[in-house]
Amino acid sequence: MNRFVFADATKCIGCRTCEVACAISHQEGCTGTLQSTEGFQPRLQLVKNAQVTTPVMCRQCDDAPCAQVCPNNAIIHEDGFVKVIQSRCIGCKTCAVACPFGAMAVVTTMVEENNGHAALFSRKVPKSQAVKCDLCSHRENGPACVEVCPTGAISLINSDELQQTSQQKREEAATRAAGITV
């Protein structure tokens, strides 16, 4: 089972610190500050309405519907997480439609296209690519959102922790069903 980031909606205060940390973490040449608003592309989105406030991010699904529908095999399981190989991504948005959590985003940026000609003939063209939570695999400390969340609403869950939590919930349910109070 893949590790994943879990957000507890009961602890989230909607401060968006996780989004900022994510965007900064994924900016090229990051110095720990936001280089430009153009580069503000967090790989999670905060949902904030009357009923709930919580970040929505990739659940690192074992069966990864996004990977199953990708026509270029740009989304793969590797190194313990589901990741997008940007050089293969064509920005078709199929993964965004397939994701049951809405955690995939397709962003469009302007890039130089010169087709091997001199800079005189280069021009900017739009390029779309899928982005999603990659558990901040480029950071030694792990996901930036987990590190900065002021309320501890975001945590990294691995298979052992998930099994332990499930076992604890089963025991609590069995205790309640038997009418035993602790």
* DSSP category for residue 121: G
Distance of alpha carbon 74 from alpha carbon 130, whole angstroms = 9
Q: In the Cβ-directed half-sphere of 93, how many Cα atoms lie within 13 Å?
A: 6
Q: Is the pTM of this model over 0.85?
A: no
CA 33 – CA 87 distance, rounded (Å): 26
pLDDT of residue 34: 59
Tens digit of each residue's pLDDT (9 = 90 or more) over 112-171: 876 666 566 678 888 899 999 999 998 999 999 999 999 999 999 988 888 898 899 999
Domains of the chain (ranges plus CATH)? 1-57+133-182 (3.30.70.20), 62-98+106-129 (3.30.70)
Name the one residue in this structure whose structure tokens are 């439609």. 97
Tokens of 176: 């309640």
pLDDT digit string, tens, across residues 14-70: 999 999 999 999 886 555 555 566 667 899 999 998 888 999 999 999 999 999 999
